[in-house]
Structure 1
Amino acid sequence: MRQPSLISRRVAVAAVSLAVAAGAAACAGPQDSSKDGSAGQGKPQKGGTLSVLNTQALNDFDPARQYTSGGGNVPTLVFRTLTTRGPGSGAAGNKVVPDLATDTGRPNADATEWTYTLKEGLKFEDGSPITSADIKYGVERSFAAELSGGAPYLRDWLAGGAEYQGPYKDKKGLDSIVTPDARTIIFKLNKPEGDFPFLATQTQFAPVPKAKDTGAKYEEHPISSGPYKLVKNEGDGEHLVFERNTYWSESTDPRRKQYPDRIDVKSGLDSAVINQRLSTSSGADASAITTDTNLGPAELAQVGSDKSLSDRVGTGHFGYTNYLAFNTKVKPFDNPKVREAIAYAVNRTSVVNAAGGSALAESATTFLPNQPAFGYTPDDPFPAGRTGDPAKAKQLLKEAGYPNGLTITLMHSTIEDRETSPEIATAIQEALKKAGITVKLDGQENNAYKQKTRTIKTAPGVFLAHWGADWPGGGPFLAPIFDGRQIVKDGSNFNHAQLNDPAVNKEIDEINKLTDPDAAAKRWGALDQKIAGQALDVPLFHPVYKRLVGKNVKNVVISDWTGVLDISRIAVK
């Protein structure tokens, strides 16, 4: 099915980059869509300057190298795509809706071919028309080695994609992308892919006029198809300035708005400074947001005692799971009863507390995130309550041949990231001790930790791990971790258990044929339950993100797709 050397590595890079961008686990954002009168309410008006205060620079501002969900959705200001995320808050934003296209795509009978028709009247920032040839060229240039970094799926999914080197080396282009006229584009795939409309939200599907392509320098001035155009890019994304694109039309783009006159994004700031500036909200900071800085436990406690601040704090969710990973090729983790014993022994309450408390982490008993779009089905194959069941764990250890307990080593990172941190490792150590399991902690510098855990030859028997999806579906969540064909022996491997079950692989293929997201979600949920019974991992928690916005910020919308506020709908007046 998928080529693990391509998909597994790059999906993980996306998950990691999201984690870094959030300053904790993944993307986040203000606005709890379940609350009325929360952050950013009030009638939005046009005008003013929106300031964005970030820690991480938005490097490589090129549609070939971006993920639409990256950078707090900043790319959506400039890069429209064939499809996009729904405009609503919460679960409503998990729906795929048309963007440049008139619909979300028309598949053939077996979902190996997808056809799109562009809307009429689409224009670039210079007033020239957007055509299907521009979409085709935008996709093709994402294959160029010098523009790597974006979504990896196209190389695996498109017929001929595995060998294609991009338009700079291969002038002929991809035969699997056909443009019979200026408004029609057809994609021919290697295999059925019912999730193609989700993939078409990625910035690789943004139109790029061939005559304006400057290769690696295109990031300095990408040609906009969205409501704003980039007018300044300093320090490779350290300082970005956007102004209105006068040729953008809301009639062809009901999802986005064009409220501020100007959007100014500054990066390289300290997270504590960002939250302090948003809290004080003086001068320009009253019209400021952050797309990558969360509130921590101490800051939340301070904000909670001040209603004027708490009204400007919202909650973001993202499809993400933190878990305990087993390498079943390493003893004693080749014994299912040992793995089950550990699952029963884990105290999720103490783990959640180590991750910042219940305001920042939700206890997890399923690998799939707790959102319906992923196929989440409430389940707990090893029910031990929130604080664990040491007695049950001891019984299973005895059945496994360890009546006197055992000693194991848990690898974790030494960084304070509330994911793979020493605090979480210590919480697990203390819980397992009650079940007769002595846990030795092996703290590794972050780069060494990632290298060792992702390399089959050096992967430990048990370690702290995390995973985030590129879109709200079970496919990009379960396949990289449990599809046996994604095991990578000479590169970054994320099928940590090295599971290669023909039945699981076949079911993944069968679900990928489905073009109905709801039908696919049910199947993903059932597959999650089936895999969970093998205790190949221990789900620990799903992160929650808290964000503060300036006092003048209006129309804050956040969906469950990215967990990030939708910057294309923000107003500051």
Structure 2
Amino acid sequence: MRQPSVISRRAAAAAISLVVVSGAVACGPEGAGAGGGGAAGAAGKPQKGGTLTILNSEAQSDFDPARLYTSGGGNVPSLVFRTLTTRNREDGAEGAKVVPDLATDTGRPNKDATEWTFTLKDGLKYEDGTAITTADVKYGIERSFAAELSGGAPYLRDWLIGGDTYEGPYKAGADGKKGKELASIVTPDPRTIVFKLKKPEGEFPFVATQTQFAPVPKAKDTGVKYEEHPVSSGPYKVVRNENDGERLTLERNPHWSEKNDEERKAYPDRIDVRSGLDAAVINQRLSTSSGADAAAVTTDTNLGPAELAQIGSDKALAARVGTGHFGYTNYLAFNPKVKPFDDIRVRQAISYAINRTSVVNAAGGSALAEPATTFLPAQKSFGYTPYDHFPAGKTGDPAKARQLLKEAGHPNGLAITLTHSTAQNRETSPEVATAVQEALKQAGITVKLEGLENNAYNEKRRSAKDAPGFFLSRWGADWPAGGPFLAPIFDGRQIVTDGSNYNHAQLNDPAVNKEIDEINKLTDLSAAAQRWGALDKKIGEQALDVPLFHPVYKRLVGKDVKNVVISDWTGVLDVSQVAVK
């Protein structure tokens, strides 16, 4: 699962005084881009040149394509690492599509989608001018299996034949020799690469966007030190990496050609990434936009409710706020193995009792959270199918909840415990937990709040053996489709008994498992999306969770920033499109 980009926790609660600035702006966010997400930047046509500054809370650590999880840390890795496919770099829903990158197309499957073939474009080069080959792509993937380079997405280990036992090219095999290859990746010539899978995977083109698919020249591989100077296949190369990504400086790769890269605009000459900054300071600097900060953005820091309230009174400043939607759902999870949650009527009662208005307010208000009644996010690419099996209106239906509790043998109500994190976030926070507590009280349900330190909370909710019966949880997809959203949560074969388990309900329904397999065979992504939506609606009837809200991201850009693009794939500003002149 991809975690959402870091939200400005401290800024959400702090009422800092934003300096009102008068930038030259075109129009407000409502009219910017197909998705209405891109902020209006400074007027004028984007031009090449200048330095883009990125101000972030978290460091761009582990800058190695094997160790990065998807596009980790916003979009910075995609400036250096190209992959076989990539996301379409456009606003809104159009940005949720997968398109070719290093490859000529998004892959060619065999009849049952168990084999995928890609062909590289002509003229691809690294920063040193040497040619990029499929052997480099194969090696880049193989090294991601090494234990010392762990941290990337797990799909290839599960999907490739032999991936579950492969340990990478560094460890010696039974014959004592290193450099063992993964036989399920075949490179018949320098431009062709074939992947052989254990089972049908119609969404393989999405997986090929992940950084493990970035080419790595074997002769330049320095193992765990590779992150200090990875060899660039993208428009920028690393010229400085201090304190494990705390200060990252990128400059143009002279051998990158825009002729074979239709997605990245690469306007600035230089990218200066500065991390480890306080969230409130980041937003203050972007608001003031003095000096280099006028050409600055953030890829990990949101605006909070107090800041948005102050910004709203100034049209020029408000026009520099971009809005993003990333496929993510915050929800109440049930463990039906724990009483009384083994009774569907109790789960239904809680579903009816929820006051989504108070939950949304606790999560920052309607500008930062949208109420949810479906598990899948409200985006076409996921297969979103509207449904509300337990209609509670905006503020809940306590009368219906009491009726169901009575039918379940609890005429005088019941007492339960809700587990949540004590971390100050707007997803699993004490504020959200308290809103749930107060709503359920109206239905005769007394809720005791169990707040745990974040690491302890995550460990407990992900334990198949010790998970509580009722807790706040969340899930985000690694790409905008139904597969990585529903399968980890509801596929019984993905229940993990001795590690991190995300199938909280421990649902192991043969019919659900079979439908997941059937959808995975589809290479027509539109048809697959419809099936995912129908499956979501069907599973929803069992009241195994209570969808609460989908987060919304609000971020400032400097007054001289142009060409802001925010897609529904990432929900954050795409730095490959930004211009500062």
Indicate whether the TM-score tops 0.5.
yes
Give aligned-pair identity as a percent: 77
Of 193, 206, 209 in structure 1, the residue corresponding to residue 217 of structure 2 is 209
Equivalents in 2 of 1:524, 1:199: separation in Å? 18
User: After superposition, where does 1:330-345 map in structure 2 within 5 Å?
Assistant: 330-345=338-353
1:69 CA drift (Å) = 2.5
- Structure 1 match to 2:129: 127
Give TM-score, length-normalised by structure 1.
0.95
- Structure 2 match to 1:387: 395
Of 529, 535, 541 in structure 1, the residue corresponding to residue 543 of structure 2 is 535
Equivalents in 1 of 2:419, 2:345: separation in Å? 21
Of 101, 104, 121 in structure 1, the residue corresponding to residue 103 of structure 2 is 101
Change (3 A) 1:454 1:35: closer
What letter corresponds to residue 455 of structure 2 in structure 1?
N
The answer (yes or no) to whether the contact 1:117–1:183 under 8 Å persists in 2 is: yes
Q: Deviations over 1:367-399 (max 9, x none)?
A: 001101001001101111111100000000011
- Structure 1 match to 2:554: 546
The answer (yes or no) to whether the contact 1:453–1:460 under 8 Å persists in 2 is: yes
Change (3 A) 1:328 1:35: closer
What letter corresponds to residue 473 of structure 1 in structure 2?
A
Equivalents in 1 of 2:153, 2:437: separation in Å? 37
What letter corresponds to residue 238 of structure 2 in structure 1?
L
- Structure 1 match to 2:455: 447
User: Is 1:416–2:417 an aligned residue pair?
Assistant: no
1:38 CA drift (Å) = 3.9
Equivalents in 1 of 2:38, 2:187: separation in Å? 47
- Structure 2 match to 1:196: 204
User: After superposition, where does 1:229-308 map in structure 2 within 5 Å?
Assistant: 229-308=237-316
Q: What SS does the corresponding residue of 1:272 show, helix, strand or coil? A: helix
User: Is 1:476–2:484 an aligned residue pair?
Assistant: yes
User: Is 1:315–2:323 an aligned residue pair?
Assistant: yes
Query: Hey, which bits of structure 1, 4+ residues long, moved more than 6 A?
Result: none
What letter corresponds to residue 112 of structure 2 in structure 1?
D
The answer (yes or no) to whether the contact 1:22–1:291 under 8 Å persists in 2 is: no
- Consecutive unaligned residues of structure 1, counting only runs of 5 or more, are 1-10
Of 386, 397, 405 in structure 2, the residue corresponding to residue 378 of structure 1 is 386
- Consecutive unaligned residues of structure 2, counting only runs of 5 or more, are 11-28, 172-177
- Structure 2 match to 1:396: 404
Change (3 A) 1:225 1:526: same
User: Is 1:407–2:415 an aligned residue pair?
Assistant: yes
Change (3 A) 1:73 1:22: farther
Equivalents in 2 of 1:375, 1:367: separation in Å? 11
Q: Deviations over 1:266-320 (max 9, x none)?
A: 0000000000000000000000001110000000001001111101001011000
Q: What SS does the corresponding residue of 1:547 show, helix, strand or coil? A: strand
- Structure 1 match to 2:151: 149
Equivalents in 1 of 2:387, 2:243: separation in Å? 48
- Structure 2 match to 1:118: 120
The answer (yes or no) to whether the contact 1:68–1:76 under 8 Å persists in 2 is: no
The answer (yes or no) to whether the contact 1:24–1:419 under 8 Å persists in 2 is: no
1:36 CA drift (Å) = 9.4
1:416 CA drift (Å) = 1.2
1:35 CA drift (Å) = 4.2
What letter corresponds to residue 365 of structure 1 in structure 2?
T
Aligned length: 554
Of 65, 68, 74 in structure 2, the residue corresponding to residue 66 of structure 1 is 68
- Taking only aligned residues, the RMSD between alpha carbons, in angstroms, comes to 1.3
Equivalents in 2 of 1:188, 1:88: separation in Å? 31
1:40 CA drift (Å) = 2.1
1:411 CA drift (Å) = 0.6
Q: What SS does the corresponding residue of 1:460 show, helix, strand or coil? A: coil
Q: What SS does the corresponding residue of 1:273 show, helix, strand or coil? A: helix
The answer (yes or no) to whether the contact 1:111–1:515 under 8 Å persists in 2 is: yes
Give TM-score, length-normalised by structure 2.
0.94
Q: What SS does the corresponding residue of 2:73 show, helix, strand or coil? A: helix
Of 545, 551, 566 in structure 1, the residue corresponding to residue 574 of structure 2 is 566
1:325 CA drift (Å) = 0.2
The answer (yes or no) to whether the contact 2:38–2:323 under 8 Å persists in 1 is: no
